[in-house]
């Protein structure tokens, strides 16, 4: 597979998805991959999900991207796979809808669906970041776990009349939604790595909030807006922010903007371009307990940057949770060592 982008980009040979994943996302993925029997659970869930039917549905009601249909998107997908060194180029479909969105779904052969409203909203470099975002979801394996979450949400709706079962399942979904939101932050980074244009990635997030009126928006003003959202003056506002997250699978646009901006300015992005990143061939040796601790450290660092009054009351808790979570998984893993051939 070869690609010649319009401007020079650095190919990230053998890059592991751990390079760009948010620590909270990464720790969950590493843990899930190492849990004995989890593959069996996924297979059982995949039987409940009519993947063939969904693919047939999009094949019948949308446009399959190729060299002859939306060829510029096809080239962007191939380019993103080339930059992120992913051998398999996923199928992509463009569907007519006013809802601004894109998604990567499926178990065995994940594919990408892009809404026409998003294609219309973005210029070529912005769309390249969007495509890279979705390719990042597939490289991370998010498509599988996100599809699993959709199945659980549908199941929760069916058993809503059973309070005990519903609330237990709802608690799992809340946890999955928090992971889902962190996976979006991960793939905003993947989109930046694929496009290697920070201004385009910033513009996408601004347009998700304000639409196509980019001439009426300003990046620094949007950054200040993110700081205003973070530094609410009242504890009641902090609680309202938490409540507003329930049922949301995506962080709010100003939060995504601020998180991506921080990741870029911290030097993490440039270190990856310089070749300083984990490779896929080291994924099997990833430590779950260390990833859990790293996730807690990331929350701690994020909380230290935050001016939110509620977060100010909770500073220091992340390290305690990290030690407890890492130690618990260490004990569990020592009692239930996975087979030598299990990732």
Does a structural domain hold residue 340?
Answer: no
Assess contact for 129 and 73: CB atoms under 8 A: no
* pLDDT average, residue stretch 233-237: 82
Banded model confidence at residue 143, pLDDT cuts 50, 70, 90: confident
At residue 154's C-alpha, the angle toward residues 149 and 157, to 5°, is: 125
Does a structural domain hold residue 22?
Answer: yes
Does a structural domain hold residue 343?
Answer: no
- Could you give phi then psi for residue 10, rounded to 5 degrees? -90, 125
Does a structural domain hold residue 2?
Answer: no
- The token pair at 127 is 């769309």
Higher pLDDT, 293 or 204: 204
Q: How far apart are CA 200 and CA 7, in angstroms?
A: 14
For position 190, what pLDDT does the model report?
97
Residues 6+ apart with CB under 8 A from 318: 296, 297, 299, 300, 303
The helix (run of H) or strand (run of E) holding residue 119 is: helix 116-121
For position 55, what pLDDT does the model report?
85
- Residue 313, pLDDT > 70, answer no
In whole angstroms, what separates CA 163 from the centre of its chain?
31
Name which of 69-73, 124-128, 163-167 the model is least confident about: 163-167
- The token pair at 162 is 């059973």
Does a structural domain hold residue 313?
Answer: yes
For position 105, what pLDDT does the model report?
86
Does a structural domain hold residue 341?
Answer: no
* pLDDT average, residue stretch 48-61: 80
Does a structural domain hold residue 101?
Answer: yes
Higher pLDDT, 35 or 15: 15
Banded model confidence at residue 326, pLDDT cuts 50, 70, 90: very low
For position 330, what pLDDT does the model report?
47
Name which of 68-82, 164-178, 198-212 the model is least confident about: 164-178
- Residue 32, pLDDT > 70, answer no
The helix (run of H) or strand (run of E) holding residue 93 is: strand 92-95
- The token pair at 288 is 């779950």
For position 4, what pLDDT does the model report?
41
Whether 216 is a known active-site residue: answer: no
Which one of the listed residues 91, 125, 134, 291 is annotated catalytic? 134
Residues 6+ apart with CB under 8 A from 155: 169
* pLDDT average, residue stretch 194-213: 97
- Residue 282, pLDDT > 80, answer yes
For position 299, what pLDDT does the model report?
65
| pLDDT tens digits, 155-185 | 666 665 555 555 656 666 666 777 788 889 9
* pLDDT average, residue stretch 132-146: 87
> Which DSSP string do the residues of 139-202 spell out, in sequence order?
HHTHHHHHHHHHHHHHHHHHTTT-HHHHHHHHHHHHHHHHHHHHHHHHHHHHHHHHH--HHHHH
Pairing between β-strand 102-105 and β-strand 111-115 as defined by DSSP bridges: antiparallel
Q: What is the span of the domain harbouring residue 106?
A: 17-335
For position 254, what pLDDT does the model report?
95
Structurally, how many domains does the chain consist of?
A: 1
Q: How far apart are CA 173 and CA 72, in angstroms?
A: 37
Does a structural domain hold residue 3?
Answer: no
Q: What angle separates helix 198-210 from helix 124-140, to the nearest 10 degrees?
A: 90
pTM: 0.80
């Amino acid at each position: 597979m070869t690609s010649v982008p319009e401007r020079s980009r650095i190919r990230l040979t053998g890059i592991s998805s751990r390079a760009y994943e948010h620590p909270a996302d990464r720790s969950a993925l590493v843990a899930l991959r190492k849990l004995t029997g989890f593959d069996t659970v996924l297979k059982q869930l995949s039987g409940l999900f009519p993947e063939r039917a969904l693919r047939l549905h999009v094949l019948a009601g949308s446009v399959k991207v190729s060299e002859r249909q939306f060829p510029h998107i096809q080239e962007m997908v191939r380019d993103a796979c080339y930059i992120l060194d992913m051998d398999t180029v996923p199928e992509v479909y463009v569907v007519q809808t006013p809802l601004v969105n894109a998604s990567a779904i499926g178990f065995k052969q994940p594919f990408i669906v892009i809404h026409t409203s998003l294609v219309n909203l973005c210029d070529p470099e912005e769309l390249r970041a969007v495509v890279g975002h979705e390719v990042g979801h597939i490289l991370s394996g998010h498509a599988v776990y996100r599809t699993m979450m959709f199945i659980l949400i549908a199941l929760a709706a069916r058993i809503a009349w059973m309070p005990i079962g519903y609330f237990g399942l709802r608690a799992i979904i809340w946890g999955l939604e928090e992971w889902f939101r962190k996976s979006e932050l991960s793939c905003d980074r993947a989109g930046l790595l694929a496009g290697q244009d920070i201004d385009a990635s910033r513009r996408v997030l601004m347009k998700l909030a304000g639409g196509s009126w980019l001439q009426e928006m300003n990046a620094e003003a949007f950054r200040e807006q993110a700081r205003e959202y973070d530094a609410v003056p009242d504890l009641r506002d902090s609680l309202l922010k938490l409540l507003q997250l329930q049922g949301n699978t995506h962080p709010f646009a100003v939060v995504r903007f601020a998180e991506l901006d921080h990741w870029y300015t911290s030097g993490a992005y440039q270190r990856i371009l310089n070749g300083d990143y984990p490779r896929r061939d080291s994924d099997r040796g990833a430590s779950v307990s260390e990833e859990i601790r790293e996730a807690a450290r990331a929350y701690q660092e994020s909380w230290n940057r935050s001016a939110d009054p509620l977060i100010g009351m909770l500073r220091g808790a992340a390290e305690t949770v990290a030690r407890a979570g890492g130690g618990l998984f260490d004990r569990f893993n020592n009692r239930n060592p996975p087979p030598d051939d299990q990732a």
